[in-house]
Amino acid sequence: MAGLLGAEARMIPLRIGLNLGGKRSLNFRFELMDHPVATPALAATAVAQTLDAHTRGLGFQSLSMQGNIKLAGHPAIQMENVIADLNPGRISQYVGGMLQAISLNPFEKPVFEGISLTIKAEDRLDLSGIAGVRLLKARAKRGEVLPVLVTLQNIQGVRETATFNLQVSSSAAKGKAILMVGDGFSLMAADPDERMIEVANLGDVVRLLNGALRNNHAYALLVQAQPGAGLRGARIEGIPPTVASLVSGDGASSDNRLQRRIVGRAVLPLDREVRGLSQLEVEIE
């Protein structure tokens, strides 16, 4: 064993702002050891202990978080999450998971410049479920806007209807398509291509994290069972299958050849957590 007297380990600043239902605000400053395994765990522990000490813990509450992770030489990674259930530990797990994806990337050692989080705690459950989805028509033309009506229901049973205006890609193929409406996490879990997108460097990881679907947004995705393409950490959407086959390399054997192609996308930002997934069949003309 060997050591160096007087040397100081590199530390990563972590700032947490905690808003307790608008009644009072607290600010915390931490210094985390810069280590690929320890840093995510330490950050998650700091968030968990801050919430345990100053919020009600188990019970009816919602936690909304916004923040960013700053890396040298890369755009800031934006974080956004809403937790509305009896498990406040989901917030700390989310923070730890984001940091782990960065620190354990196989391409290069990230240089963290700082982590900043703002968490707001409310004594209510800001949660809605997707209770239904319907279309004004079952057929859509390529290039047109397809209205999609989604019904949301909160835990008190109150329903509201919102409308997506989904632009159908002009490159969509004639025939069947599947409309998927859901929260970001449910859509990622249902996506067979979620693990098929290749990344080649840390910049790809940053783009992938910044483009990840959120759980406080409802999304409408129109997909077709035709090859798409994944390149450098992102889907390439709205391109014809012939071009997708060229980008994907040597046909079906290519690791980044996707099973489905997204030919329409719309987003409905919400101020609460949303859960659920619904699917409808659409005929593309």
Bridge partners (DSSP) listed for residue 121: 20, 63
Bridge partners (DSSP) listed for residue 181: 220, 278
pLDDT at 260: 74
Question: Which residue carries 């607290």 as its tokens?
Answer: 26
pLDDT at 195: 52
223-248: pLDDT as tens digits: 887 665 554 445 544 444 444 444 44
pLDDT at 214: 85
Question: Which residue carries 């950490």 as its tokens?
Answer: 233
pLDDT at 37: 93
Going by the DSSP 8-state scheme, the letter that residue 251 receives in this structure is G
pLDDT at 125: 81
pLDDT at 151: 94
Q: How far apart are CA 120 and CA 21, in angstroms?
A: 7
Residues 95, 53: contact at Cβ < 8 Å?
no
Q: How far apart are CA 264 and CA 166, in angstroms?
A: 6
> Which residue from 135, 130, 182, 183 is spatially nearest to 159, judged by alpha carbons?
130
CA 146 to chain centre: 24
Q: Which residues of the chain have pLDDT under 70?
A: 56-60, 86, 192-198, 226-259
Going by the DSSP 8-state scheme, the letter that residue 188 receives in this structure is H
Q: How far apart are CA 141 and CA 145, in angstroms?
A: 8
Task: In the chain, count H helices and then E strands.
Answer: 5, 17
pLDDT at 236: 44
pLDDT at 229: 53
7-20: pLDDT as tens digits: 888 899 999 999 98
pLDDT at 55: 81
Q: What is the pTM of this model?
A: 0.77
In the chain, the amino acid numbered 188 is M
